[in-house]
Amino acid sequence: MSLATRCTACGTVFRIVEDQLRVSDGWVRCGRCAEVFDAREMLFDIERDAPPPWPANFAPSALNTPPAPTLPPTSPPPPPTAPAPTPAPAWEPPPEPDTEPGLRDALPTGWPEDASRQEPRWVDEEQRPSTAPAAARAPTEPLRARQPDVVAAGSLPEFMRRAESDARWNRPAVRAALGLLSLLLAALLALQLALHFRDAIAALHPPARGILQSLCSTLGCELRPWRRIEALSIESTSLNPVGKSGYRLHLSLRNKTAVDVAAPWVELSLTDSTGAALARRVLEPRALSPSLTQVNADSEQALSFSFSTGEQRVSGYSVNIFYP
């Protein structure tokens, strides 16, 4: 089955494919007058059916056209001068035979002979320019098949929109802008990571400390010793009485890594003779003796702290280190 349709605006007959109708819900664009219309309204089978009649109000009526006035006879004009030589008209190939011989015969008859009216045509290829007048060429040109442009009802089909979107993102200017934006975002991400892990970077890579210090002075941040509690361990502790109600805590810290780490905070818990909690105190590094800010790499640091419990007697204690 070979389907065709007729333009509702200019009457041109086109071949149509069922896939085109299914993709665009029947809407097509005329390749001759660019009119968008529903092809299903004028759909017919070329092999079995005659083309649907063209609306009568389309064809200009030549019956009501007043006859051209006749001019009175005049004296014969003087002989014309020799015309200037003009280039020979471009060669135009002879018209091709009709692709459907029976289709022209099936067209409605009785139309007025009007030289200014354009006959509906089948077009297989783009029309070739011709120097002949349109009124003399239109009735004799053969009908040739042409596929109409498919358009979607209200919008383009999904695959066409996707193709246009891909083409838009593949433009050189867009790709260059995206490349520059990616580099800028990567630089901002690297700067954010460097500022977030600045203490660890300065401890692991001492040459970078100067750059990080400059960034912190510009952005208002602070560069501190690296806090890494797993690098520290308590080697020994002791709690000795001093006087009647005083005690002295001795603590030995060891840094097991090859980098400097921040001095930890110390949690001291005291118990009485029954094992009940007597007191708990958190000691910051500056309250210890000596006052610390960091523990050097591969080193052991002895610390002490003195305090008083009044009349309460201490029977046991525990010591922990942590970072707040």
pLDDT digits (tens, 9 = 90+) for 225-258: 999 999 999 999 999 988 887 899 999 999 999 9
Per-residue confidence (pLDDT) for residue 125, from 0 to 100: 45
- Mean pLDDT to the nearest integer, 41-47: 83
Per-residue confidence (pLDDT) for residue 94, from 0 to 100: 52
Domain boundaries, the chain: 1-56+96-163, 172-219, 229-322
Angle between helix axes 172-196 and 209-219 (nearest 10 degrees) is 100
Instruction: Return the beta strands (E) in the chain as ranges.
Output: 3-6, 13-16, 27-29, 36-38, 44-45, 149-150, 232-242, 246-255, 261-262, 265-271, 277-283, 294-295, 300-308, 316-322
Angle between helix axes 158-169 and 172-196 (nearest 10 degrees) is 70
Reported pTM: 0.44
Phi, psi at 298, each rounded to 5°: 50, 50
Stronger pLDDT, 27 or 132, i.e. the higher one: 27
Q: Are 251 and 301 in contact (CB under 8 A)?
A: no
Per-residue confidence (pLDDT) for residue 103, from 0 to 100: 43
User: Could you tell me the pLDDT band of residue 76, with boundaries at 50, 70 and 90?
Assistant: low
- Mean pLDDT to the nearest integer, 92-121: 48
229-322 CATH fold: Immunoglobulin-like (2.60.40)
Q: Which is it for the CA torsion 251, 257, 263, 265, positive or negative?
A: negative
Per-residue confidence (pLDDT) for residue 303, from 0 to 100: 93
User: Could you tell me the pLDDT band of residue 126, with boundaries at 50, 70 and 90?
Assistant: very low
Per the prediction, the chain carries an average pLDDT of: 76
- DSSP at 156: -
Give Cβ neighbours of residue 318 (< 8 Å, ≥ 6 apart).
268, 269
User: Could you tell me the pLDDT band of residue 116, with boundaries at 50, 70 and 90?
Assistant: low
Stronger pLDDT, 262 or 25, i.e. the higher one: 262
Stronger pLDDT, 54 or 323, i.e. the higher one: 323
Res. 263: pLDDT tops 80: yes
> For residues 277-310, b (16+ Cβ closer than 10 Å) or e, as one string?
ebeeeebebeebeeebebbeeeeebebebebeee
pLDDT digits (tens, 9 = 90+) for 137-176: 444 444 444 554 545 444 567 777 778 878 888 889 989 9
